[in-house]
Amino acid sequence: MKNTLSLCLLCALSFVVSAQSYQVKIKTNQGAITIKLFDDTPLHRDNFLKLVRQNYYDSTLFHRVIKGFVIQAGDPDSKHASDTMVLGEGDLGYTIPAEILPNHYHIKGAVGMARDTNAAKASSACQFYIVQGKFPDDSTFIKAKMRSGFAIPEDHQKAYNAFGGIPHLDMNYTVFGEVVSGLHVLDKIAALPTDSHDRPKQNVRILGMEIVKQP
């Protein structure tokens, strides 16, 4: 039953966002994923749109793939990386102030911005992740509170039980969008074999990004 619930219901349970929000199609050599950008995280939305318009993400890799967790992309060093290069440290020399909101959480399909350990929880300028996550067990929400200090609200727990996700990241990273189509591509990428640094052994390359809907 959990796996048969519709993506539209997932959206209804997870986030309330204007139907006129920007949508971006991420085209990869494994298929396409379309994401919606949230209007109430404008710094992250506008930065992401700027990079899309500049074709920044073209040829970057999904360099960090962890089944049951996330797929992550956007490292500029990945564009011309050798097959053995360790990736994940590349950035653009600035950060985005945190826009961490309690109504945006790490359910499957959530799109967030990576960051380092800075105290302000400011985001990377370019590296983003898409949550695959997993279904919680009886201790998940207790452990999440112990790890982050944030108690997962009951309605969020119900959504996590229905769709899976990563509750312990809530209120620690900025979630600025969600998948509206292509969850099967997310699962396909997440299932690929990886090396000891979580880089897929088969390159997952972003062929391009396109703004497909705007207000």
* DSSP per-residue codes, 92-106: -S-EE-----TT---
CA 31 – CA 95 distance, rounded (Å): 29
Domain span holding position 152: 2-213
**Considering the chain, what percentage of its residues have pLDDT values greater than 90?**
87
CATH of the domain at 132: 2.40.100.10
Q: Which residue has the higher pLDDT, 99 or 2?
A: 99
Asked whether residue 110 carries a pLDDT value surpassing 60, the answer given is yes
Asked whether residue 213 carries a pLDDT value surpassing 70, the answer given is yes
Under the banding of pLDDT at 50, 70 and 90, the label for residue 159 is very high
**CA 46, 203, 70: angle at the middle one, nearest 5?**
55
Asked whether residue 4 carries a pLDDT value surpassing 80, the answer given is no
Under the banding of pLDDT at 50, 70 and 90, the label for residue 141 is very high
Asked whether residue 22 carries a pLDDT value surpassing 70, the answer given is yes
Q: Is 156 helix (H, G, I), strand (E, B) or coil?
A: helix
| Residue 159: Cβ within 10 Å count | 23
Q: Which of 145, 117, 113 is nearest to 130 (CA)?
A: 113
Asked whether residue 70 carries a pLDDT value surpassing 60, the answer given is yes
**What's the domain count of the chain?**
1
CA 161 – CA 184 distance, rounded (Å): 19
